[in-house]
Amino acid sequence: MTRPLRLAINGASGRMGSALLDLLGADDRFTLVHAVVAAESAHDGRPVFPGAADSLRYAHEWSHAPAIDVVIDFSGPTGLAAALDHCQIHGTALVSGTTGLDAALEARLADAGKRMAVLRAANFSLGVAVLTRLLREAAAALRAWDVEIVEAHHGRKQDAPSGTALALGRVAADARQTTLERAAVYHREGRTGERNDGSIGFAVVRGGDIVGEHTAMLVGMGERLELIHRATDRSIFARGAMQAAYWLAGREPGHWQLDDVIATPR
């Protein structure tokens, strides 16, 4: 595609939306044509980022949106549902990092893949996508080795283990033809006895301002393989979402993954 992609951001006033806006000013692959914020946002009526076209303003909904090639969504379930309505009508590609969806919205997204290209991820780090691929291959090749996943985040994080750590665990379990529900060990304290063969252990570190670190350890007799990803800047997630949007625009309908993005660069 010779012209810049026409991009819309859903959730433009949130943390990820703001990170996307910060990056877009220097990215000539995109032209930002629509930015949706929550109704209570104080940004209404102002340009989205320095240097934006004078006609571009924040909006609270999709009814007057111009032609769009791809939407990046980091909003919430309600915001995602509204964006999905628009994308289905126009066949617009959708990249979404929104989580916490109920069964009804999950079903709508699953069905939407018949008519539009959809790419969803809980973590848009391209490095984590590569880590996931490597872990899948290693867990399948080293089936007798023990798997342990260690993650570290800042002290304000509310959940443990992290969603990314759990996703890594699922990949390892799937590679060994089992499920995380069967294999996971989340707590070790006191006299736990010997490690169960085939289990996948988790360890959690919380403190300071750690952006995010994930280590997948495969431990054999006399040797150990460690696959490590360390995030030092939260902008990596916005960069990954933009790369996914650039890759997804113009794709045929279906559900795509970050693994597809790194496997076939555009």
Residues taking part in catalysis: 153, 157
Evaluate whether 245 touches 4 at the Cβ level (below 8 Å): no
Please name every residue paired with 218 in a beta bridge, in sequence order, or none if there are none. 147, 225
Tell me how long the chain is.
Answer: 266
Evaluate whether 95 touches 244 at the Cβ level (below 8 Å): yes
d(CA 132, CA 127): 9
C-alpha dihedral sign at 9, 85, 1, 67: negative
The H or E element that residue 239 is part of is: helix 235-248
Instruction: List, in sequence order, every beta strand (DSSP E) within the chain.
Output: 5-10, 30-36, 58-59, 70-73, 93-96, 117-120, 146-153, 184-185, 200-206, 212-219, 224-231, 254-256
